[in-house]
């Protein structure tokens, strides 16, 4: 897709600070890093979200996320990572090409993704679990 910035990086039409390439993925430094070494891993094929990535591509793609995480660990020695993605505009996705953030952390005591939510009612857990199971 010529209008997708990540497709343009994957094709080589747009420069980025590449750190890793494979047949299934490309990894490059985030232009707006939350920490030194903040890396994005994108599939070579265009998929807006995880739901759009073909099932047969998921395993290879996430193996590459693991490879990139190991490479960042070896190079920068963070104490931990946040690894994940924003799935949809209302979750903060700004580039609509699936990309996994490999975000190194350099100090202990992070709050994790739970700090991003607004909580929930523990009394609804059974009802919510049943709804998900039946979907």
Q: Catalytic site residues?
A: 99
Q: How far apart are CA 51 and CA 87, in angstroms?
A: 9
User: Could you tell me what percentage of the chain is helix, strand and coil, using 3-state DSSP and rounding each to the nearest 5?
Assistant: 40, 20, 45
CA distances from 100 to 10, 59, 70 (A): 14, 14, 14
CA distances from 2 to 17, 35, 103 (A): 20, 29, 27
Cα 45 off chain centre by: 15
Residues in the chain: 135
């Amino acid at each position: 897709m010529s209008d997708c910035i990540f497709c343009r990086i994957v094709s080589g039409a747009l420069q980025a600070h590449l750190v890793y390439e494979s047949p299934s993925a490309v990894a490059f430094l985030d232009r707006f890093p939350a920490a030194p070494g903040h890396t994005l891993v994108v599939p070579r094929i265009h998929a807006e979200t995880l739901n759009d990535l073909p099932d047969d591509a998921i395993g290879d793609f996430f193996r590459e996320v693991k490879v990139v995480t190991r490479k960042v660990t070896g190079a920068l020695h963070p104490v931990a990572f946040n690894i994940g993605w924003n799935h949809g505009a209302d979750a903060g996705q700004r580039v609509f090409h699936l990309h996994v953030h490999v975000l190194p952390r350099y100090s202990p005591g992070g709050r994790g993704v739970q700090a991003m939510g607004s909580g929930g009612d523990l009394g609804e857990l059974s009802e919510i679990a049943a709804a998900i199971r039946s979907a």
